[in-house]
């Protein structure tokens, strides 16, 4: 069984943290409707949704991906880089205890789950404004007994590693090469985002199904030309909060 942890959109999402985007008004009802359709798509793919209640005082809390890294053997509860987001981990950790043993990143470590890309037994971790070396060192200690390898990647021009690169098929990466150095990923197949769509590299692979934002049509055509079938969803209001399709769920096998 595939579990998808999600959380309802906070009524205060308009006060979200922003790093690379200007602040634009977010329509709360549209954002909630889009999030509901996102959850429905996950259900259609075969996920069991475990939905957490909205957190009125935590504007970014819909973006549950940043609160944990869930591996087959354990779950690592993160310490988000934005101070305003650190309370988000509490309820996520309580739910994850039903499925995994838990390890927790502590000060001075910082990690956002959006900075961690798993490909097999390798964890690529972005060193960014939200993830630091101290956090990576703690992650290394947690996963060492399970024979994971960690590779760090410098992230400077976007919020998270998965803003610039995501897995879209077996050994296939969707990537914005102007934001990330491909040499760190080895002998994988690359699909470049369309230059007119720099934010188009974030996609959510669940089994053989690829969840993808509908507002990047040119990059979608590139994916489909490489034989990748896309399940699109409108997340335009959540994107105003620097969100994307990976951000809105924690996906793992029970």
158 is catalytic: no
248 is an active site residue: no
* Given 35, 47, 160, 248, the catalytic residue: 160
**Could you say which of 16, 158, 247, 248 is catalytic?**
247
3-state SS of the chain is: CEEEEEECCCCCHHHCCCCCCCCCCCCHHHHHHHHHHHHHHHHHHCEEEEEECCCCCCCCCCCHHHHEEECCCCEEECCCCCHHHHHHHHHHHHHHCCCCCEEECCCCCCCCHHHEEEECCEEEEEECCCCCHHHHHHHHHHHHHHCCEEEEEECCCCCCHHHHEEEEECCEEEECCCCCCHHHHCCCEEEECCCCCCCCCCCEEECCEEEEECCCHHHHHHHHHCCCCEEEECCHHHHCCCCCCCCCCEEEEC
Q: Hey, which residues are catalytic here?
A: 160, 247
């Amino acid at each position: 069984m595939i579990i998808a942890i999600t959380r309802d959109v906070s009524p205060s999402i308009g006060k979200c943290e922003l790093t690379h985007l200007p602040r634009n008004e977010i329509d709360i009802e549209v954002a909630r409707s889009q999030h509901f359709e996102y959850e429905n798509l996950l259900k259609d793919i075969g996920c069991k949704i475990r939905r957490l209640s909205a957190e009125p005082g935590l504007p970014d809390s819909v973006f549950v991906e940043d609160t944990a890294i869930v591996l087959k053997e354990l779950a690592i509860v993160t310490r988000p880089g934005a101070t305003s987001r650190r309370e988000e981990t509490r309820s996520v950790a309580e739910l994850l205890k039903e499925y995994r043993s838990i390890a927790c990143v502590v000060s001075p470590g910082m990690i956002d789950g959006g900075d961690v890309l798993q490909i097999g037994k390798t964890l690529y971790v972005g060193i960014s404004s939200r993830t630091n070396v101290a956090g990576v060192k703690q992650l290394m200690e947690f996963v060492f007994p399970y024979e994971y390898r960690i590779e760090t990647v410098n992230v400077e021009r976007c919020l998270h590693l998965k803003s610039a690169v995501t897995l879209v098929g077996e050994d296939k990466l969707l990537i914005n090469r102007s934001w990330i150095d491909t040499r760190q990923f080895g002998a994988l197949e690359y699909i470049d985002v369309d230059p007119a769509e720099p934010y188009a590299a974030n996609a959510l692979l669940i089994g053989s199904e690829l969840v993808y934002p509908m507002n990047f049509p040119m990059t979608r055509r590139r994916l489909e030309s490489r034989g990748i079938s896309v399940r699109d969803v409108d997340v335009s209001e959540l994107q105003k909060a620097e969100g994307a399709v990976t951000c809105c769920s924690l996906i793992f096998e029970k």
